[in-house]
Amino acid sequence: MAFAIEDRPGTAWVVLALTGDVDLASAPELRTCLAGAVERHPAVVVDLAGVEFMDSTGLGVLVAAYNRAAATDRRLVIARPQRIVRNALRLVQVDSVIDVYDTLDDAVASL
């Protein structure tokens, strides 16, 4: 799994672009990365366009990061999940807790 943080000067948000699989093996690194992003930025967009697989551990990491953000009056949204990942988000109802957007522009506009 690879992470790319796109910090845009002059904005109140950051994009965290993920690539690869989000699973038990990559979850600890993702948890650390998301915690840091939520701590440093008032809004975080998690771009899942490059994620081809996400298991329940990965879904749990996203929900935990969302809860951490919400507890400190910060925002966390998801953008561009591939079909299989969107189905996983829907199956366990993560999409009823975290806002999910089809495009990066829509995600950013929501902030």
In CATH, what number is assigned to the domain containing residue 11? 3.30.750.24
Q: pLDDT-derived band of residue 11, with 50, 70 and 90 as boundaries?
A: confident
- Are 32 and 1 in contact by the 8 Å Cβ rule? The answer is no
pTM: 0.90
What pLDDT shows up at residue 9? 58
Q: List, in order, residues 6 or more apart from 107 with CB less than 8 Å away.
A: 45, 47, 77, 78, 79, 80, 99, 101
Residue-range definition of the domain harbouring residue 83: 2-109
Nearest to 30 by CA among 76, 74, 70: 76
Domain count of the fold of the chain: 1
What pLDDT shows up at residue 10? 61
